[in-house]
Structure 1
Amino acid sequence: MTPVVAVDLPPKLTGKIAPDRILMTRTPRPPHGLVEGFKSIVDASSVISDIMDEMGITGATGASVLKPTIAGSTMVGPALTVRNIVQREHVYETARGHVNRMAEFEAHNLALPGDVVVIDGVAGISNMGGISAQTGKRQGEVGAIVQGGVRDVGHSRRVGYPIWATEITPVTGKWRIETIEINGDIQIAGVRVSPGDIVVADETGVCFIPLERAPEVLARALEKASSETRKCDAIDAGVSVADLPTNA
């Protein structure tokens, strides 16, 4: 678990979430070269999933669960986490009173270039829309993971902000969702995710790698990727199936 640290609040908050619910204003940063190393791996989610199995780490989810909104997209970066719940009041009351307690924009406010916003959200409701995606893109985020609905997919595609989400829906979260915590531990598809954990996403799936174990995962994943490259080269060279090198 990533420790909660006392830090100064940023100079400007959106006002939709209490300051004491922002557990860290800056996510832990990965060691130099770590993100670039994971980016260099072809078919990264499959390779990393195998390595995490060998290391006893739970953290991989398929793209049939977290579906990419932009075909062919890949992303790697530290997680900036958000937790949403359903508002207590009825939607007709909150919509009439314009009671909007969504605060993923506060996560954008805190984001550093290269971050991945990871939302433990609400099913059947949009936890992120097009304007939010455009804001995230401007802030330098590489994309988002959302357990729950998203909307305005065309908008996020146009601005080049990839999202992996469990659902797509036009139903707004503005009057239905309350953001109760930013940069705390969350759970995505049964996987615990802490702020700063490394997110690797591609067309095959998403891997959440605990930050403290990420250097070892990377080292072993690079070895496996190199071994698979040698095997593919042997296939292209016409080596018989019986003589193909095996992957350890």
Structure 2
Amino acid sequence: MVAPLSTVLFVPKDQQPVFPLWTQAPWESNIPQNKHWTDCPAAGSIVIMQQPPHQTVALLGDIVATRFKLRGVLGAVIDGRARDVVACWELCKDGGFQVHSRGLSSVGTSLEAKPWAVDVPLTIGGLRVDPGDILCADEGEGVICVIPRAKLEEVAALLPTLKEADDGVLKDVQNGVDFPTALANHPKHYTNH
């Protein structure tokens, strides 16, 4: 799955404008009053959702996942917890939707958190993630990478060379060539840089 990101930032449930409880949060919510937050991410995007540290509630379950999928959102990545694993797995079976999370919880969002801002920059694992950046995910391995949208053309230009070198290393190894020699045979392989 490769698609642009939409972001949703959650805050402690007691967050109020002018009294931010989490320093990453903007002072005021930017979610339109006449719109539910699940209707904000664009169809064709992957939603990355972030909750404050140390919370144990789930940000996504079967209802939110179903709403996203029916709206054409391609998946959800949760920097936090998810729930309703079996129901979410069923939604993902056709390959048209994916869910990835750092953890699981049976507890609903509203006990600790609430959605506060959409399409704002997030910092995840020390890395800045901006709305519109491109997320690459694999159904078996999880999130592979996020490509900043300003670097997309540069990355796209590198991919054919890297793919050719990677395929060459794999073919050599399949034919019994030892790994160091296979890498030496394909100097443009990403591990050689």
Band of TM-score, shorter chain: 0.7 to 0.9
- Secondary structure in 2 aligned to 1:174? helix
1:246 aligns with 2:186: yes
Residue 114 of structure 1: aligned partner = 44
Contact 1:126 1:172 in 2 (8 A): yes
Count of aligned pairs between the two proteins: 161
Please state whether the residue corresponding to 2:60 is helix, strand or coil. Answer: coil
Q: Is residue 219 of structure 1 aligned with residue 145 of structure 2?
A: no
Contact 1:142/1:162, CA 8 A, preserved across alignment = yes
Check the 8 A contact 2:133/2:149 in 1, yes or no.
yes
1:170 match: secondary structure: coil
Q: CA 1:242–1:170 in structure 2 vs 1: closer, same or farther (change >3 Å)?
A: closer
The residue number in structure 1 matching 2:117 is: 181
2:77 — aligned with what?
A: 145
Aligned-residue RMSD, C-alpha: 2.4
Question: Which residue of the partner structure matches residue 159 of structure 1?
Answer: 91
1:108 positional shift: 3.4
- Point out which structure has higher relative CO (alpha carbons under 8 A, 6+ apart): 1
What runs of 5+ residues in structure 1 fail to find an aligned partner? Answer: 1-74, 90-100
Quick one: which of 88, 92, 114 aligns to 2:14? 88
Contact kept? 1:111, 1:139, Cα under 8 Å: no
Q: Given residue 216 of structure 1, which amino acid in structure 2 is its aligned partner?
A: E
Partner residue of 2:106 out of 170, 173, 187: 170
- What secondary structure is seen at the aligned counterpart in 2 of 1:226? helix
Q: CA deviation at 1:111?
A: 3.2
**C-alpha contact (below 8 Å) 1:79/1:197 kept by paired residues:** yes
Q: Tell me: CA distance 1:178–1:227, structure 2 relative to 1, closer, same or farther (3 Å).
A: same
Greater share of residues in strand: 2
Structure 2 unpaired stretches of 5+: 16-28, 189-193
Give the equivalent residue in structure 1 for 2:65.
133
1:190 pairs with 2:120: no
The alignment's TM-score, normalised by the length of structure 1, stands at: 0.58
Distance 1:126 1:240, change over 3 A: closer
Inter-CA distance 246–150: structure 2 relative to 1 (3 Å threshold): same
Q: 1:225 to 1:85 in 2, by over 3 A?
A: same
Instruction: For residue 86 of structure 1, report the CA deviation from its aligned partner.
Output: 1.0
Aligned to 2:3: 77
Distance 2:41 2:124 in 1: 20
The Cα of 1:170 is off from its aligned counterpart by 0.4
Equivalent AA in structure 1 for residue 10 of structure 2: N
Separation in 2, partners of 1:112, 1:173: 22
Query: Secondary structure of the equivalent of 1:124?
Result: coil
Flag the 1:168–1:109 CA change in 2: closer, same or farther, 3 A: same
Cα distance in structure 2, aligned partners of 1:77 and 1:216: 17
Q: Give the secondary-structure state (helix, strand or coil) at the position aligned to 2:56.
A: coil
Q: CA deviation at 1:233?
A: 1.9
Asked if 2 retains the 8 angstrom alpha-carbon contact of 1:80 and 1:107, the reply is no
Q: Structure 1 212/240 Cα, relative in aligned 2: closer, same or farther at 3 Å?
A: closer
